[in-house]
Structure 1
Amino acid sequence: MAIAPVVEERPGCGRGARLLGALMRRFVRPFVARLPWTPLTLRFAGLIELAGTLLPAPRGTEVVPVRGLGCAAEQIRGRGVPADPRRVILYFHGGGFVACGLRTHRRMIARISQAAGIPVLSVAYRMQPKVPIATSIRDCVDAYRWLLDRGVDPGSIVIAGDSAGGYLAFAAALHARRDGLPRPAGIAGLSPFLDLDLEARIAHANEPLDPFIPARRLADMVRTVFPDVEPTDPLLCPLHADLRELPPVLIQVGSIEVLCCDAHLMAERLGAAGVPCTLQIWEGQMHVFQVFADLSREGHAAIAEVGRFARRATSPEAARAA
């Protein structure tokens, strides 16, 4: 039975967020727009992970490398979070399927862990240009299976991710279902990339407003990461998959980012499939604004909402309702 998604408009854009947006619009967007999308450029994209050393985790964070997966991973516990193996957030970082990793996202993920009071398994899935997107998805599904094999109840796992990692959160849940695995407790997408058809983004009113990502640059990414893939392929485009029986979903998106249309479309289709979905639209915020929580009170507030969602989704009450 179809249900309407809950759409929450989150007003207010503080001075820090406005200043950050202005700087990104002035310096970063022009650079991203002019940067050639070539094999050589993609190789250098891996250097972005090194910048993560400039973003140390908050004081009191515990980071433990995790072995046994086909890719690098680590458990992150925010300050004061108990080492409770009964509840886990499984997190996939963003970066356009070609960049970023454990270090770039450790600070934000530690904050999510602290807000939720739940440990996070952060997964550095293998990326382009070394492997195809199917391998990235498989790494994410294998990480979910790894948790299940170690006795973690699926009703105690929330799968989450930002941008490309948001895509992988949905893709992992859908492919896990195809593999016969039980569904997780919830899915959280932070500015998720979800639509392989780029025409809507190019024509969207947010295209000139987005201070970070030009829509045409996303077209280059899709041609590289999803070559010869039909935009409506249900195996690789979550928007066109059978969304029925997915767990409750939280989607957060900035009101001025070009991926706002992805968030709206997914919320509508989840509702049509009978999946509870809360879509939070944060006024004046840019792509994955949560990562800039040091400069933005809205980033802190959004992370608190992700933590609240994870706690509720993995609560005994939610398990009984499921």
Structure 2
Amino acid sequence: MPSPQALSVRSMLQQLRASQNPAEQSLEAQRSGLDQMGQTIPKPDHVLVERTSFDGVPGEWISIAGAPTERVILYLHGGAYYMGSCESHRSLAWRLAEASEARIALVEYRLAPEHRFPAAVEDAVKAYKSLLAQGIEPNRIAIAGDSAGGGLTMATLISLRDEGTSLPACAALLSPWTDLAGTGPSMESRAPYDPWLEPEGIRKAPLLYCSPDQLTHPLVSPLYADLAGLPPVLIHVGRDECLLDDSVRLYDKIREAGGEAQLHIWEDMWHVFHSFPIPEADEALREIGTFIQRRIPR
């Protein structure tokens, strides 16, 4: 049974979706709306934020006062590749920093449609390499991301593997968007239960980022990639989201390729529920934090 807080947020999301038509909103309005949603959890004083650049990719170092900083998470925000920023994801990042006892490199990769594929992948790879250039060992780094950032996390791992760069210790994916072609059965079967996303919007958004013939490119939709030789991956997804099968099929493919993967399907939850001030999100972030700590021990 979902918590009262989760039921309240679900109702809010349903009302928001009913009152807003993304097709009628400007990009600026959609970006501003996501930024505002990300600011609903105030930042505590013990959370430290330092604006910086990761080899030209803007972002922030987010850390917890007095906490060790040897464990690093490169975090790639969601937002369908055309929204998202440090403003929209800072609260999720500092909560993950607490749960994992790590500092977070939260980056702002270039967004579509101003910068289309492969700009986001190039920036994520560049940000990861900047961490290595700072002397951070790859076995002290995790990569994590939600939604489009989850798909981008996979694309980054694939790119690093293919070019022979040392891979991070592990990766965590929060409701990853891994099939921009939108072929998963859950796109339709879970639509009646999804309080936030709907199939039509999910299938339109990718065309801001890539051309129709690129929808199944392995760095656009990692579900179609060779997934062998990657570090351990933890995948979280809500049972009630249209993108459920983006996670389930990715998990199956990683395992089929001989990789290590864990999949947790959260009952009664929606897309990137981790972002919201609900007990289920706190529990999920603790699980991610434990996963990362076990693979990057002190």
TM-score range (shorter-chain normalised) is over 0.9
- Deviation digits for residues 132-152 of structure 1, max 9, x if unmatched? 120111100000000111111
1:1-322 to structure 2, matched below 5 A, reads: 12-25=1-14, 27-32=15-20, 34-36=21-23, 41-48=26-33, 50-51=35-36, 52=38, 55-82=41-68, 84=69, 86-201=70-185, 204-292=188-276, 294=277, 296-315=278-297
Name whichever of 154-163 and 60-69 sits farther off: 60-69
Distance 1:181 1:31 in 2: 46
- SS of the aligned residue for 2:184 comes to helix
* Preserved CA contact (<8 Å) 1:73 1:123: yes
* Preserved CA contact (<8 Å) 1:42 1:129: no
Give the superposed CA RMSD.
1.9
* Preserved CA contact (<8 Å) 1:79 1:114: no
Q: How many pairs were matched up?
A: 297
Q: Give the direction of change, closer, same or farther, for the CA distance of 1:96–1:223 in structure 2 (3 Å limit).
A: same
1:173 shift after superposition: 1.0
Distance 2:116 2:187 in 1: 29
Distance 2:196 2:267 in 1: 16
- SS of the aligned residue for 1:121 comes to strand
1:53 shift after superposition: 5.2
Distance 1:201 1:57 in 2: 38
Distance 1:152 1:121 in 2: 12
Give the percent of matched residue pairs that are identical in Structure 1 and Structure 2: 32
1:248 shift after superposition: 0.3
1:69 shift after superposition: 2.6
1:45 shift after superposition: 2.9
Distance 1:279 1:217 in 2: 26
Distance 1:69 1:44 in 2: 29
Q: Give the direction of change, closer, same or farther, for the CA distance of 1:231–1:99 in structure 2 (3 Å limit).
A: closer
Q: Give the direction of change, closer, same or farther, for the CA distance of 1:50–1:21 in structure 2 (3 Å limit).
A: closer
1:56 shift after superposition: 3.1
* Preserved CA contact (<8 Å) 1:167 1:192: yes
* Preserved CA contact (<8 Å) 1:69 1:142: yes
In the alignment, structure 1 segments of 5+ residues that lack a partner are 1-11, 317-322
- Deviation digits for residues 27-62 of structure 1, max 9, x if unmatched? 122245x3217xx72243332365255543233101
> Could you tell me the TM-score, scaled by structure 2's length?
0.93
- Deviation digits for residues 112-165 of structure 1, max 9, x if unmatched? 101111111000111012101201111000000001111111111100001111
- SS of the aligned residue for 2:143 comes to strand
1:66 shift after superposition: 1.7
Tell me which amino acid in the other structure corresponds to 1:47.
S
Tell me which amino acid in the other structure corresponds to 1:146.
S
* Preserved CA contact (<8 Å) 2:273 2:281: yes
- SS of the aligned residue for 1:187 comes to strand
Q: Give the direction of change, closer, same or farther, for the CA distance of 1:68–1:21 in structure 2 (3 Å limit).
A: closer
* Preserved CA contact (<8 Å) 1:58 1:107: no
Tell me which amino acid in the other structure corresponds to 2:227.
L
